[in-house]
């Protein structure tokens, strides 16, 4: 179907908006593959050390706050719902709802980061930052390997938090574009692929939460 008047958002190297949308979605997914392997390396490292030092990892995991971790999981999954609803609103051209859901998504993301920073502060106060000041008095026999756990904890949750900060930055741009009317029912690819990124970050947390917080909780 040829259109005599070209859509302003259609780049000249694409035949149609559909083709352009498929290309940008594919591009985002290819980027997410690199992200899967980026976090995959960290998960592989985690698996190796957890298998080598299961007792130390269980003991160190007990120092994490399950309640705050669970609340953050709920917050992040809810932000994924508001993100999905934002895409839905964009598809239907409901600009006001789109703006509201984008703000909701950013707010929930900020709440997640706030709770995370409270947790980091607790770890700092309890001398659980790996390094010369690290103390593990409950089970001193595990002091070295507990540091491995906390190194992985801070690197993995820290990189996840960095992705959240970038995600909120992307959502700010999306909010601006939606507000000034760039996003329409015909052209909402930016919202769609930003959503893909946001959901990916949610999925990383879905794995981080049980692996870091829930080891050997019954003991």
Helices 143-180 & 189-213, crossing angle to 10 degrees? Answer: 160
Residue 74 is encoded by which pair of tokens? 């709920």
In the list 11, 74, 118, 172, the residue contacting other proteins (rule: CB under 8 A) is 74
Indicate whether 32 belongs to the interface with other proteins (CB under 8 A): yes
Tokens 């893909």 sit at which residue? 196
Indicate whether 38 belongs to the interface with other proteins (CB under 8 A): no
CA-to-CA dists, residue 174 to 35, 50, 155, 165, 184, angstroms:
21, 40, 28, 14, 12
Distance in angstroms (rounded) separating the CA atoms of residues 2 and 4: 6
The single-letter DSSP state of residue 140 is G
Indicate whether 22 belongs to the interface with other proteins (CB under 8 A): yes
Cβ–Cβ contacts within 10 Å for residue 114, how many? 12
**Closer CB to other proteins, 57 or 175, in the complex:** 57
- Provide the minimum distance between the beta carbon of 33 and other proteins in the complex, in angstroms, as a whole number: 4
In the list 6, 11, 18, 179, the residue contacting other proteins (rule: CB under 8 A) is 18
Indicate whether 117 belongs to the interface with other proteins (CB under 8 A): no
Indicate whether 9 belongs to the interface with other proteins (CB under 8 A): no
Indicate whether 172 belongs to the interface with other proteins (CB under 8 A): no
The stretch near other proteins (CB under 8 A) out of 65-73, 106-114, 116-124, 160-168 is: 65-73
Indicate whether 140 belongs to the interface with other proteins (CB under 8 A): no
Residue 196 is encoded by which pair of tokens? 């893909």
Written as one string, the DSSP assignment of 141-185 is GGHHHHHHHHHHHHHHHHHHHHHHHHHHHHHHHHHHHHHHT---S
Indicate whether 184 belongs to the interface with other proteins (CB under 8 A): no
Distance in angstroms (rounded) separating the CA atoms of residues 97 and 86: 7
14's torsion region: left (phi>0), alpha (psi -120 to 50) or beta?
A: beta
The stretch near other proteins (CB under 8 A) out of 6-14, 17-25, 118-126, 156-164 is: 17-25
Q: Which residues bind other proteins (CB under 8 A)?
A: 18, 21-22, 25-26, 29-30, 32-33, 36-37, 40-41, 43-44, 47-48, 51-55, 66, 70, 73-74, 77-78, 80-81, 83-85, 88, 91-92, 192, 195-196, 199-200, 202-203, 206-207, 209-211, 214-219
């Amino acid at each position: 179907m040829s259109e005599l008047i070209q859509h302003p958002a259609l780049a000249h190297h694409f035949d149609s908006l559909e083709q352009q949308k498929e290309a940008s979605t594919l591009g985002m997914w290819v980027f997410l593959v690199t992200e899967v392997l980026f976090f995959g390396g960290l998960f592989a490292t985690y698996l190796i050390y957890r298998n080598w030092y299961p007792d130390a990892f269980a003991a160190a995991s007990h120092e994490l706050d399950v309640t705050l971790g669970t609340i953050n999981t709920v917050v992040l999954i809810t932000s994924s719902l508001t993100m999905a609803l934002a895409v839905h609103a964009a598809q239907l051209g409901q600009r006001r709802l789109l703006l509201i859901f984008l703000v909701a998504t950013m707010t929930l993301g900020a709440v997640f980061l706030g709770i995370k920073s409270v947790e980091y502060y607790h770890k700092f106060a309890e001398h659980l930052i790996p390094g010369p000041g690290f103390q593990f008095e409950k089970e001193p026999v595990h002091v070295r390997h507990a540091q491995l756990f906390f190194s992985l904890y801070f690197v993995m949750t820290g990189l996840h938090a960095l992705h959240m900060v970038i995600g909120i930055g992307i959502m700010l741009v999306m909010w601006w574009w939606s507000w000034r009317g760039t996003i329409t029912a015909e052209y909402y690819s930016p919202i769609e692929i930003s959503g893909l990124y946001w959901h990916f970050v949610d999925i990383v947390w879905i794995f981080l939460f049980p692996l870091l917080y829930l080891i050997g909780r019954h003991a």
